[in-house]
Each structure stands twice: as C-alpha cells, then as structure tokens.
Chain A
C-alpha cells in the first residue's frame, strides 16, 4: 500500500460528468421543443390531445430552465469542483474516506432531487416562482445536497497541501455561500397543510407578500445567474484555460480585484428585473446603476483570460478546446455588456418582457456557460478516463455548428425583441395603441422559426458532444497520465 503512489481520485467527478452530459441533452432537447412550440403552436399537441398537459409550453418551460441551470450547469460545476478542487489544493479524495463518502452521498442525493424535480414539474407541482419552482420538500433536499458540497469544499481545503487558495477556489466558495443564502431566503415559505390544515401536503405560500416577494424573488433570480451561471464558470475558465494552454493567468492581481468587484457589485443588481414596477424608485435606480458598474469586474476577468492567450493565439487555431474557451470568454464579455445596456431604465422600457431578454440569457448560457462546461469536460476526459479525446474533428464541427446556432439564436431574438417592444408601445395621435398583441405574434413568426433552427443546430452539437464523450470513455486510444502535456491528447 505504501509503495503505491498517491493519485487524484476522480470517481465523484466522473459521476457528475456523466450527469452533466445526460442533463445537458435533456435540458436542451426540451428547450428546442419549446422553441418549435413557440414558432408552430401545433407542436404543443405533438403527443395528442390526451397528453397535451405534459407537452404544452407552460408545463415544459420550467423543466427546460431548471434542467439547464440546476441540472446541466450544476452537475458541470460539481464535476469540475471534484477535479479542480483536488488538483489546485494538491490533495487527493483518496486520502480522506470521509470526504469520499460525502462526495458520493452528495451525488446520490443530487440525482434523487433531480428525479423529484423532473416528476414534480411534469405533474405541474410548482410554487410558481421563476427558477425557484420546487415545492418545499424538494427545497429541503436541495439544502442537504448543498450543505454536503460545502462539507466537501471546506473538508478538502482543511487537508490541503497548497497553502494559498487558487483563484478558482475563491469563486467556487463564493458560489457555494451565495447560493446557500439566496436559496434559503427566497424559498422561505409556510406549508399550508401543516400550519393551517389547508391545501395539499406539497403546497406552501411565500413568507413575503406583494412587492417584497417580488424583490426577494429577483434578488434571488438575478443572483442565480450570478452564482450559478457566472461565478463557478469563471472558476472553471481560470483553471482550464491556463492549464490547457500552458500559460499562467495574465495577471493574478487583476483576478483578485475582479473577484472582489464581482462579489460586491453583483448582489445589488437584481433590482433591474423590476424596473417600472411597484418597488421603490431608488431601488430600481440602484439596480440599474449596479448593473452598469458590473461591466468592470466582468470584463476584468474576461480580458484577463484573453490576455492569458497573449503570444499564443496560434493555439486558438490548432486546439478546438482553446477555441471553445476563447469564444466562451468573448461571449461572457458580450453578454455582460448587453445585460447592463438592458438594465438602463430607458432601454428597459423598450426591452422588458420582450424576446431580447430571452436572447440575452441564451447568448450568455449557450455561448459562455455551456461552451465553458464543454471545454472543461473535454479537458478532464483524458485525465479522468485515461484515454485521448475520441475525435478532434468532431469537436471542431461541434464548435462551428453551435457557434452558428448561438448567432442565429441571439440575432433573431434581438430583432424579435426590439420589433415587439416598438409595436407594443406604438400609438396614434390620440394615444390609442397601434397594434394588438396578436399583430406582434404574426410579425415575430419568422424570427421564432429562425430561433428554433438555431436551437436545433446547438442541440445537434450537444449530441456530438455526448457521442464524443461516450466514445472517449469507452473506445478511444489509451494514454497514461504521465505522458500528458498541457494540450489534451485528441484523436483525429
């Protein structure tokens, strides 16, 4: 036993990698179905009138958003945590049977929670808060899973060899702490059956009412974007881009500064979801101002990543993994500029409730979050499965098909959103609205179709990714970890 060299143990990382792939396929497949339903309403009845309850837009929509955010992305975060965490702290999970148990338990409970979410959402059981649809018993399960993640993070930190916590670890910790706080406060609710003997066992009412409820909801909602779709993804790029390219982070000091900037500013930006609503005006203004200030720390990280490639841009052409990450970082810059623009009050007057917002979310998630997770998993695969990535050309094809998909998605939604906003507010000289709602629906049809095509292209890319990963796990050429350079080995 003593003679056997200690190795990193990727068991839990592997499990989460598989969950990422499966939930990515599910979440994005449902998304594409929704896109076609919006373009061609008949698709709502694709399985017949009898099953329409399960296939209509309203039933599937939360399943799509939650599967992508809390399924695909959170699994990706966990998979990378159980990989990056060990490596930058220089400690193996194999050294602590306790942490190994916690990791495995976390995965098993996570899968149970995911199953409960899928079933409950399909049955239409929801507390009707966007991105916080889960009924209270599921919330309790989520809390346990999250606490176990915390035990894993701080447990690994406790037994580390590397004294300093690498910047990625800071971002993972931030994601852990912030989501814990946000989730708890937004889901504070009273189970009516147990308290008042009214309603079903599942049912609960929020502890906040009216405008306060809306404020807490969007403080949560926007920070879910911050601490599920941003912070942990930044953690990934700070590790995987330097590692894959062999280049140290351009400026470590800038990474620290951006970290604190992001932490401070992001938490105040949620008010921009409630511009022109019943919340106090100063809160709306604060939401807008903080959103604009948010450009600085976001761009601090993104520029730091692009500058990390200084003098090594040839790698973008030769290595599809770097391509994914550089594009991810570019999309991060793009969507963190677009978001603040939308948060400006006068722009928001036009953009709010339109498809432009939908476009914004998708260029962020498809271009930044998902590209980064694909890259991270591709980088991890050879090290975890001890095989080279099955096909480089498939990766390249995936990259181009998905890039085209994202571009079609956000451009169509820009046009649709601005058209929609302009038509809603258009009026004649007497102040009568110029168009009825159905007029906008008719005009938007072509753009909805283009969006569905874009989404379908992206989904095809996801299937390529899943196939490439499956073949990497099972059939690709074996490689020893000791032979691996920074650049991941990949077959033709």
Chain B
C-alpha cells in the first residue's frame, strides 16, 4: 500500500468517524431531553430573561442556588 492509498483510507475513515460524531451529537441532544437529563430548550430563555434581577436559568454553583432560595 503506497502513501496515496493510506491517505485515501484514512480520509474515508475520518469522514465516516465525523459523520458518526455528528449524528451521535444529534442523538445525544434529543435523547438526553427525552430522558429528562437536560432540557436544552430552556437555555433559550437566557436571552429573554436577562435583567440582573432575573433568576438565572441555572446558577453557577449549588451554593449560590441555596443562598438564593434562602432569600
């Protein structure tokens, strides 16, 4: 096998790998939403509720969250 052939196989393999990554990512986005692990759509509200006084969609740390709840 010469270098050209190795390149061609590597190119094909890499492309196939990337296609899998892409579809895997789409699958991950939808399945984690279905399983209830993460609701991606809620992050769209970050732009809408963006006053300093608005409650963050997700606070930076658990500690902050408890603090806020106490208030």
A contact residues vs B (CB 8 Å cutoff):
5-8, 87-88, 90, 92, 160-164, 166-168, 238-239, 242-243, 246, 248-249, 251-253, 256-257, 260-261, 264, 486
* Number of residue pairs spanning A and B whose beta carbons lie under 8 angstroms apart: 79
Closest to B56 in A: A162
Ranked 7 nearest A-B pairs via Cβ? A248-B44, A163-B58, A87-B50, A166-B46, A249-B44, A162-B56, A253-B29
Knowing that A161-B60, A163-B59, A252-B40 are A-B contacts, what are 5 other residue pairs whose CB atoms are under 8 Å apart, sorted by A's residue number?
A: A161-B56, A167-B43, A242-B48, A249-B44, A253-B33
Interface: B41 (CB within 8 A)? yes
**Do A88 and B46 have beta carbons less than 8 Å apart?**
yes
| Complex Cα gap A90–B56 (Å) | 8
Across the interface, which residues of A come within 8 angstroms of B50, CB to CB?
87-88, 90, 243
Nearest CB of B to A26, in Å:
32
For chain B residues 13-52, which have a beta carbon within 8 Å of chain A?
A: 18, 22, 25-26, 29-30, 33, 40-48, 50-52
- The size class of the interface chain B forms with chain A is 20 to 34
Cross-interface CB contact of A90 among B33, B45, B52, cutoff 8 Å:
B52
Known A-B contacts A88-B47, A164-B58; A8 and B52 likewise in contact (beta carbons under 8 Å): yes
| Complex Cα gap A161–B53 (Å) | 11
Closest to A158 in B: B60
| Complex Cα gap A7–B47 (Å) | 17
Interface: B10 (CB within 8 A)? no
Across the interface, which residues of A come within 8 angstroms of B58, CB to CB?
162-164
**Do B30 and A90 have beta carbons less than 8 Å apart?**
no
Closest to B32 in A: A253
**Do B25 and A260 have beta carbons less than 8 Å apart?**
yes
Cross-interface CB contact of A257 among B26, B44, B54, cutoff 8 Å:
B26
| Complex Cα gap A227–B50 (Å) | 26
Nearest CB of A to B20, in Å:
14
Interface centre among A92, A243, A249, A261 (most CB of B within 10 A): A249
B contact residues vs A (CB 8 Å cutoff):
18, 22, 25-26, 29-30, 33, 40-48, 50-54, 56-61, 64
What are 11 A-B interface contacts by the 8 Å CB criterion?
A161-B59, A163-B57, A164-B46, A167-B43, A239-B47, A242-B47, A243-B48, A248-B41, A252-B41, A252-B42, A252-B43
Known A-B contacts A90-B56, A264-B18; A257 and B47 likewise in contact (beta carbons under 8 Å): no
| Complex Cα gap A206–B60 (Å) | 46
Interface centre among B30, B41, B61, B64 (most CB of A within 10 A): B41
Across the interface, which residues of A come within 8 angstroms of B53, CB to CB?
5
Closest to A254 in B: B29
**Do A163 and B41 have beta carbons less than 8 Å apart?**
no
Cross-interface CB contact of A253 among B30, B60, B61, B64, cutoff 8 Å:
B30
| Complex Cα gap A471–B2 (Å) | 70
**Do B43 and A251 have beta carbons less than 8 Å apart?**
no
**Do A90 and B54 have beta carbons less than 8 Å apart?**
yes
Closest to A261 in B: B22
Across the interface, which residues of A come within 8 angstroms of B48, CB to CB?
242-243, 246, 248, 486
Interface centre among A5, A6, A161, A251 (most CB of B within 10 A): A161
Across the interface, which residues of A come within 8 angstroms of B43, CB to CB?
164, 166-167, 252
| Complex Cα gap A435–B22 (Å) | 49
| Complex Cα gap A256–B61 (Å) | 23
| Complex Cα gap A264–B19 (Å) | 12
Cross-interface CB contact of A166 among B33, B41, B47, B51, cutoff 8 Å:
B47
Closest to B64 in A: A161
Across the interface, which residues of B come within 8 angstroms of A8, CB to CB?
52
Across the interface, which residues of A come within 8 angstroms of B42, CB to CB?
252
| Complex Cα gap A195–B45 (Å) | 55
Closest to A159 in B: B60
Cross-interface CB contact of B25 among A7, A239, A257, cutoff 8 Å:
A257
**Do B47 and A238 have beta carbons less than 8 Å apart?**
yes
Nearest CB of A to B10, in Å:
13
**Do A163 and B47 have beta carbons less than 8 Å apart?**
no
**Do B57 and A162 have beta carbons less than 8 Å apart?**
yes
Across the interface, which residues of B come within 8 angstroms of A5, CB to CB?
52-53
Nearest CB of A to B64, in Å:
7
| Complex Cα gap A427–B70 (Å) | 82
Across the interface, which residues of A come within 8 angstroms of B51, CB to CB?
87
Nearest CB of A to B25, in Å:
7
| Complex Cα gap A252–B12 (Å) | 31
Nearest CB of A to B59, in Å:
6
Nearest CB of A to B26, in Å:
6
Nearest CB of A to B11, in Å:
9
Closest to A162 in B: B56
Nearest CB of A to B5, in Å:
14
Nearest CB of B to A406, in Å:
28
Closest to B49 in A: A90
Known A-B contacts A161-B60, A162-B57, A260-B25; A92 and B44 likewise in contact (beta carbons under 8 Å): no
